[in-house]
């Protein structure tokens, strides 16, 4: 095939990144990484050409790709560029997210080669899809990568690539504005700054990590999961009630990746 493999992803708690790296590993090639998780990663516009293969990954929020991620992706340009799309969701459903990814990139010069929906530990509770993607998920990602390579090697021109269909509906599921909520910080905080450095939305003050802008917070739980002191947690009653309902409905279910190739 002779294409440069590129990984383009938003991955606040490293779950999406883990899946994409598993796919690249199955392809047996070194991948160039474009990590747009932090604000600094979203400052420059990116373009790819016909010699590239781009594997795009993003989390699912309420059945959609978060608007700020889609806004950035809409600026990524291709030139008859092969692309694979990955939506990572927290064990409920990915609804229109995968279709949204596919549509966004096809409008900008990308050719859809394959797509997949994988499961990651839910940001609202570790009791939902705990420790996913796990070893079995990564095996599936490895095999998926190998299958993508076989598909590409079977054609001499992308115009001969069989079209793929993915799950999703038009119009897309409606996106509702987030109610401003932020994590609390307890007295175990040692002001190490890890939470500030890893916040995808620059919502946490570098001067005082207890100062958090709730209008920027997307509840990704990066700060909660990466804090070495377990000093951050969401204590909002609405979130706790929602988590209880989701644990009751989803905590006992193991969903498997859905692949389109």
What share of the chain has pLDDT > 70, as a percent?
100
Q: What CA–CA distance (Å, rounded) separates 127 from 54?
A: 32
- Read off the DSSP letter of residue 77: B
Distance between CA 1 and CA 188 in Å, rounded? Answer: 52
- Residue that has been written with the tokens 């054609």 in this structure: 155
Q: Give the pLDDT score at 1.
A: 58
CB-based contact 88:59 (threshold 8 Å) = yes
Q: What is the mean pLDDT of residues 18-45?
A: 96
The fraction of the chain above a pLDDT of 90, given in percent, is 84
Taking residues 248-256, report their average pLDDT: 92
Query: Which pLDDT score is estimated for 123?
Result: 87
Model pTM score: 0.95
Kindly list the domain boundaries of the chain, sorted by start residue.
4-172, 184-235
Long-range contacts of 257-260 (CB under 8 A, 24+ apart): 257/116, 257/117, 257/118, 257/119, 257/137, 257/140, 257/141, 257/144, 258/116, 258/117, 258/167, 259/114, 259/115, 259/116, 259/140, 259/144, 260/98, 260/114, 260/115, 260/116, 260/164, 260/165, 260/166
Strand stretches in the chain, DSSP E: 4-9, 31-35, 52-59, 81-89, 110-119, 184-185, 232-233, 258-260
C-alpha 223/C-alpha 198 separation (Å) is 7
Digit-coded pLDDT (tens) for 97-138: 999 999 999 999 999 999 999 999 998 888 998 999 999 999
- Assigned fold of 4-172: Rossmann fold (3.40.50)
Task: Enumerate residues 6+ apart whose C-beta is below 8 A from 77.
Answer: 45, 46, 47, 48, 108, 109
Mention every residue, 6+ apart, whose C-beta is less than 8 A from residue 235. 184
192-215 pLDDT, tens per residue? 999 999 999 999 999 999 999 999
CATH of 184-235, one of 3.30.70.20, 3.10.20.70, 3.50.50.60, 3.30.450.20: 3.30.70.20
């Amino acid at each position: 095939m002779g294409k440069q493999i590129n990984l383009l992803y938003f991955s606040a708690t490293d779950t999406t990144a883990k899946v994409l790296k598993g796919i690249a590993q199955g392809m047996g090639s070194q991948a160039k990484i474009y990590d747009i998780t932090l604000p600094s990663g979203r400052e420059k516009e990116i373009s790819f050409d016909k010699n590239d293969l781009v594997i795009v990954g993003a989390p699912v929020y309420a059945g959609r790709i978060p608007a700020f991620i889609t806004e950035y992706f809409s600026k990524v340009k291709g030139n008859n560029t092969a692309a694979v799309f990955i939506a990572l969701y927290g064990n409920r459903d990915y609804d229109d997210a995968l279709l949204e990814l596919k549509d966004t990139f096809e409008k900008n010069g990308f050719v859809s080669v394959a797509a997949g929906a994988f499961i990651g530990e839910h940001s609202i509770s570790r009791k939902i899809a705990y420790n996913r993607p796990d070893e079995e998920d990564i095996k599936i990602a490895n095999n998926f990568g190998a299958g993508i390579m076989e598909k590409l090697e079977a054609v001499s021109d992308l115009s001969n690539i069989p079209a793929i269909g993915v799950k999703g509906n038009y119009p897309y599921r409606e996106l509702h504005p987030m109610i401003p909520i932020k994590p609390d910080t307890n007295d175990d905080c040692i002001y190490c700054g890890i939470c500030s450095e890893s916040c995808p939305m620059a919502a946490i003050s570098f001067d005082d990590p207890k100062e958090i802008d709730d209008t920027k917070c997307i509840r990704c739980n990066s700060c909660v999961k990466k804090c070495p002191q377990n000093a951050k947690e969401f204590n909002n009653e609405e979130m706790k009630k929602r988590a209880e309902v989701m644990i009751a409905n989803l905590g006992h279910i193991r969903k498997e990746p859905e692949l389109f190739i």
